[in-house]
Chain A
Amino acid sequence: MIQINEETAKERIARRIAAEFDSSENRFVLNLGVGIPTMVADYVKNPNVYIQAENGMLGVGPLAAEGQGDWQLINAGRQIVTQTQGCSFFDSSMSFGMIRGGHVDATVLGAFEVDEQANIANWIIPNGKQLGVGGAMDLVSGANRVIVAIQHQDRKGVSKIKHTCSLPITGFHEADMIVTEYAVFCYENEQLVLKEYAPEVSLDDVRSMTEANFVVSPLVKVMEVSV
């Protein structure tokens, strides 16, 4: 089995998730979390996709070039972004009304852990060093589709896809899809189902690197990868 380095892993995950939105012919509202999810924006090619930032913007453009851009125009990760033609600004209540009210078609977020019951843990590691929650709890419960973008294992080689999350939960039974550098899973009929796996790995490799139990889709295929 060939190991995939971190940079390649992140790009692969972002590209694979962006491909999910290629075929939308309708206006599609997408919210992106911090980290790998932000990278998804670089690979979305479909002009029908409108990126929402929960601090109050619909129609987020690419990151501003280094040293350029408007410092008061940021995404939820405090990165300076650009605006697209037709973008709009609004207050935080309308932004979360959009999210809570089911007007956001998908959210992509990172996680510390995700488990067999589609529970997501991504807001805190209880070590006393951080105190913050952000919009994740609203997003996982409000967005129509929740896509978890994570590297398959942590730096010690421990699976992030668990039988049961051990960290505080952000949302229960909310994940719809998991994309890692080695595999794509969906939740179907309350089961975790393997849909795709990377060309570098075998089914047995995926089983051995994944703590959670999963079933293999009869239509399982090799992930299309360009990196």
Chain B
Amino acid sequence: MKKAIQILACEQAIKTMIAPHSRVMVGGFGLRGYPEALVEALVDSGIGELTIISNDLGSPGVGLGKLLTNNQLKGLVGNYYNWNPEVAYAYNEGKITVDLLPQGTFAEGIRAAGAGIPAFYTLAGVGTELAKGKETRKIGERDYVLEYSISGDVALVKAHKADELGNLVYYKTARNFNPLMAMACKHVIAQVDEIVPTGALDPECIVTPHIFVDVLVVNGGKAR
């Protein structure tokens, strides 16, 4: 059971849902389809010791990159930090931990968590440095590596529109990891461009059914 959907301001949503040491999933790929206003509010909150589970960490001082500049991070789980070289430096200095995963493994790990699957085998990365210490198993003719599902406390997702129940639709390549993350966390805050009346979204086109969503924010706007 879930409480009725709440429509909050970003600041309020972040303070209600996130605490120090939270594992926070954040949608987005290369500064597209990430919840900008929620990330700003997370930075402004100053909440620290966070583990951020996201494809990348924006750019230096931009988007999620601000959390690193602001020393709010304990660890990262993700795929590609070449767009923000400050991540490599912070990692080398021992300031943060980084769990680096192939992109498809990262995506599937999140999907698996949301779908109640604890682990899965994949070909990606077998024999490479990223599979060091991981269990491998021969299935048929090939070796596969065991990868665990990835879950979080709170997901910050970006969608295009929500209806008043919390059903979500996305926009072009801004979809990326958002629908997966909405299923993989205990609590979900969705930043949307617009909230439309329930019934206004075509049920055939809804990507994330409302049961996964707890809180809606309209681009940093006010609570209703």
Please report A residues at the B interface, Cβ cutoff 8 Å.
53-57, 70-74, 78, 83, 89-93, 95-97, 99-100, 128-138, 141-142, 168-172
Q: How far is B174's CA from A72's CA once the two chains are assembled, in angstroms? A: 6
Whether the Cβ atoms of B104 and A96 lie closer than 8 Å is yes
Which 4 A-B pairs rank lowest in CB-CB distance, beginning with the nearest? A96-B104, A138-B104, A132-B82, A92-B107
- CB within 8 Å for A142 and B180 given contacts A93-B111, A130-B81, A168-B128: no
Whether the Cβ atoms of A93 and B79 lie closer than 8 Å is no
Contacts of A56 in B (CB 8 A): 29, 173, 175-176
Contacts of A70 in B (CB 8 A): 172
Contacts of B41 in A (CB 8 A): none
Number of interface residues of B (CB under 8 A): 51
22 A-B pairs within 8 Å (CB atoms) are namely: A55-B30, A56-B173, A71-B32, A72-B33, A78-B30, A91-B107, A93-B111, A96-B103, A97-B108, A100-B124, A128-B92, A129-B85, A130-B81, A131-B87, A132-B79, A133-B102, A134-B102, A137-B125, A142-B124, A168-B129, A172-B127, A172-B128
Q: How far is B104's CA from A14's CA once the two chains are assembled, in angstroms? A: 26
Whether the Cβ atoms of A91 and B178 lie closer than 8 Å is yes
State whether the Cβ of B179 lies closer than 8 Å to any Cβ in chain A.
yes
Q: How far is B179's CA from A92's CA once the two chains are assembled, in angstroms? A: 9
State whether the Cβ of B177 lies closer than 8 Å to any Cβ in chain A.
yes
Q: Work out how many contacts link A and B, with CB atoms closer than 8 A.
A: 141
Q: How far is B33's CA from A93's CA once the two chains are assembled, in angstroms? A: 15
State whether the Cβ of B100 lies closer than 8 Å to any Cβ in chain A.
yes
Q: How far is B209's CA from A42's CA once the two chains are assembled, in angstroms? A: 39
Chain A residue with the shortest CB-CB distance to B29: A55
Residue among B91, B123, B130, B178 making CB contact with A142, cutoff 8 Å: B123
Q: How far is B129's CA from A168's CA once the two chains are assembled, in angstroms? A: 7
